[in-house]
């Protein structure tokens, strides 16, 4: 069965979604990446490189792979999958979006690139449920996404940012499920909260896309999810208050959490020492991961085995 392009390698970046006021619509790709290697075989589906609990056909990457073959009306082949994972699982850094896109991209390559990137994007959003992680993971950079009920399609826009702020991911030693984080949100919001969130969202977009930095941190304020998810994250308020005292710093909950993303305008501002200062009063252990905007997004290569 082994033949041309029977081995495919897909690299997908981590993502941070919401970015404060951009709930379920804004996201950025980060320079933290997972690599997925697929090798067609006749031995069923065999997975390695991830926790044993995920080494089964219910793995999100496998489900996405099979979904594209179903879309193509073909029976999916057996394959070996090896993961080189750098994206923390269940930490709000887009690990599920990365798995979905890896499965779709590999299947599409084995199918002879039958589907366009836009089709893969739309199908990935349907599998994920929303576009904020999918768009930047696939296309790279700083993106917005939405579902258009008139066309029954997910759409995206990629923004050009002249000088993106410096980024640090604060990753704790505990998980927070997306289900729990979503259940914490209210069913309704006040008019005042929605107006404030929209105002901050527009300010954020203007600052980033026009390279404006006046009142830098104001653009990241949020009334939709931060007030409700923050209490689920030990140390959120302590870290946010401490870092937000610096005029050039802002802190957002990455996706559904518990990772926190620190935005810094001044490259000379060290974040690790600021977090270390808090260590005696913090309840969790936090790893500081310097990162940057990943402008390329998903990358794929295939070759003969």
pLDDT, tens only, 23-50: 999 999 999 999 999 999 988 888 988 7
Look at residue 279 and tell me if it is in a domain: yes
Query: Which segments of the chain are extended strands (E)?
Result: 7-17, 26-41, 45-48, 78-84, 142-148, 153-159, 166-172, 249-253, 260-264, 286-291, 299-303
Question: Which residue has 């029977």 as its token pair?
Answer: 6
Domain count, the chain: 2
Say if CB 243 and CB 251 are below 8 A apart: yes
Say if CB 176 and CB 260 are below 8 A apart: no
Beta strand pairing call for 260-264 and 249-253: antiparallel
Beta strand pairing call for 26-41 and 153-159: unpaired
Q: What was the pLDDT predicted at 202?
A: 95
Look at residue 78 and tell me if it is in a domain: yes
Cα-flanking dihedrals φ and ψ of residue 151, to 5°?
Answer: -100, -5
Look at residue 153 and tell me if it is in a domain: yes
Greatest alpha-carbon span in the chain: 62
Return the sign of the alpha-carbon dihedral for residues 166, 170, 175, 179.
negative
What is the pTM for the complete model shown? 0.92
Look at residue 45 and tell me if it is in a domain: yes
The answer to whether residues 176 and 137 belong to one domain is no
pLDDT band for 163, please (50, 70, 90 cuts): confident
pLDDT band for 57, please (50, 70, 90 cuts): confident
Indicate whether 158 pLDDT > 90: yes
Look at residue 116 and tell me if it is in a domain: yes
The answer to whether residues 79 and 170 belong to one domain is no
The answer to whether residues 179 and 299 belong to one domain is no
What is the span of the domain harbouring residue 139?
A: 7-159+294-303
The answer to whether residues 12 and 144 belong to one domain is yes
Nearest one of 200, 208, 93 to 142, comparing CA atoms:
208
Domain of 23, CATH number, reads 3.30.230.10
Domain of 258, CATH number, reads 3.30.70.890
The answer to whether residues 63 and 90 belong to one domain is yes
Look at residue 248 and tell me if it is in a domain: yes
Q: What was the pLDDT predicted at 52?
A: 74
Indicate whether 1 pLDDT > 70: no
Q: What was the pLDDT predicted at 160?
A: 92
Any residues with CB less than 8 A from the CB of 53 and at least 6 apart, and which?
none
């Amino acid at each position: 069965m082994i033949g041309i392009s029977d081995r495919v390698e897909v690299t997908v970046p981590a993502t941070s979604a919401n970015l404060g006021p951009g709930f379920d619509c804004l996201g950025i790709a980060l320079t933290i990446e997972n690599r997925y290697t697929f090798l067609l075989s006749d031995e069923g589906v065999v997975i390695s490189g991830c926790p044993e609990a995920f080494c089964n056909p219910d793995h999100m990457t496998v489900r996405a792979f099979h979904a594209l073959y179903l879309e193509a009306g073909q029976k999916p082949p057996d394959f070996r999958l090896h993961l080189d994972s750098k994206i923390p699982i269940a930490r709000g850094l887009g690990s599920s979006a990365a798995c979905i896109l890896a499965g779709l991209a590999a299947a599409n390559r084995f199918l002879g690139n039958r589907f366009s990137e836009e089709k893969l994007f739309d199908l990935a959003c349907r599998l994920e449920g929303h576009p904020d992680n999918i768009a930047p993971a696939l296309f790279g950079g700083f993106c917005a996404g939405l579902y258009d009920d008139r066309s029954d399609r997910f759409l995206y826009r990629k923004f050009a940012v002249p000088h993106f702020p410096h980024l640090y991911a604060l990753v704790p030693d505990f998980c927070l499920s997306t289900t729990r984080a979503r259940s914490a949100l209210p069913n309704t919001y006040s008019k005042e909260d929605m107006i404030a969130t929209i105002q901050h969202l527009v300010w954020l977009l203007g600052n980033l896309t026009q390279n404006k930095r006046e009142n830098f941190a104001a653009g990241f304020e949020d009334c939709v999810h931060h007030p409700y998810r923050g209490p689920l994250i030990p140390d959120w308020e302590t870290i946010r208050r401490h870092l937000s005292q610096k005029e050039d710093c802002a802190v957002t909950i990455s996706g559904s959490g518990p990772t926190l993303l620190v935005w810094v305008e001044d490259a000379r501002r060290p974040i690790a020492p600021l977090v270390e200062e808090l260590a005696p009063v913090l309840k969790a252990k936090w790893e500081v991961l310097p990162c940057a905007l990943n402008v390329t997004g998903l990358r794929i290569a295939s070759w003969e085995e």
